[in-house]
Structures are given as structure tokens and as C-alpha cells.
Amino acid sequence: MGDMFTTQSAEETEWVGRLLASCLQAGDVIALSGDLGAGKTHLVQGVASSLGVDGAVTSPTFNILLVHAGRLPLYHLDLYRLDDPAQLEDIDFYATLEGDGVSFIEWGDRFPDELPADHLLVEISRLSETGRDFRLTPGGPRSAEVASAWSRAVHEGAGR
């Protein structure tokens, strides 16, 4: 079982995203899972803020892929509207994940066999109107390192 933590507001979800950004390096892949409104985009907004991304970061539902320039390029994908793994080739999915930035894949659990083995799955569950539960499941050594560092940062900063 992976690490877990809870947030109580959208602002706190963005805060844990900022903490996650400090743990990331080029090539890291984060798959996000959770119902509509669970907080996937809020998490990515926090990451983007910490990476120095200028401008609004919104869910790429209709674009499928948005690229944001920052300290590291942020590749923000949304697979919700895709229904066949063959469509991933059309959006240059595999080359994007191997790029020089960090990849966040909303609805990443839709095509689990297409994700790199070493990715971090972040499952976000609604506990209440604003409360969210985060379960981290690493797929390999690098994602285990990210999950551990992120979870430690969240727990150390919980009394902020």
C-alpha cells in the first residue's frame, strides 16, 4: 500500500501540489485518478505555481494536451475524452512522456497498460464538499522516491 494524506480545501490541495513540484525532475510521470471535481486540476495548478508557470492552468479536457513553460516544462494531459489506446499516438503521448519535463495525466487510469512502468498513480477521493483523500501508488523506484519525499513534505508541513 502506498502513502496517504488528506486535504480539507482547494487551497490545501494546491499547497500539496506546490510541495510535489519540489520533488519532481524531468521525466517524472504522474497519473491522476478521481471523479469529476475531485481536485486533479487544483493539484496541477499548485505544481504549476511552484514551477513558475505564468498564466492560467485549466483542465485540458478539450485540448487533450497543454504544455506550460516553467522551471521544468509541464505537460498536462487529460485522457477523459479518449476511448481507444490507439488515439494516444495521435496526441504524441509516448514522446511527450519521454520529454524534458514532468507529465501530469488526468484520467491516467483509463489506459494503465500505456503508462510507463515507473509512474506515480495519485488517486483522489472526495471525503466531503472540500475534503480530499490522496492515495499514492508508485510503479517503480523513481516514483517511490517521489511519493516518499512528497508524503514526508506534506506530513512535515501539516501544522503550517
What average pLDDT does range 146-153 have in this prediction?
94
Distance (Å, whole) CA 89 – CA 56? 27
pLDDT for residue 136 is more than 80: yes
Which neighbouring-strand residues pair with 105?
Answer: 31, 77
Report the share of the chain in percent with pLDDT over 90.
58
- The per-residue pLDDT for range 47-97, each reduced to its tens digit, is 999 999 987 777 766 567 878 888 999 999 989 888 899 999 888 899 999
The whole-chain average pLDDT of the chain stands at 89
3-state helix, strand, coil in the chain (%, to 5): 35, 25, 40
CA distance 88 to 18: 28
Residue 1: predicted pLDDT: 43
The burial class, CB within 10 Å (0-12 / 13-18 / 19+), for 61 is: middle
- Sign of torsion, CA 68 111 118 34? positive
Return the domain boundaries, the chain.
4-157
| pTM of the shown model | 0.91
User: In CATH, which superfamily holds the domain spanning 4-157?
Assistant: P-loop containing nucleotide triphosphate hydrolases (3.40.50.300)
Task: Quick: pLDDT tens for 115-135.
Answer: 999 999 999 999 998 899 999
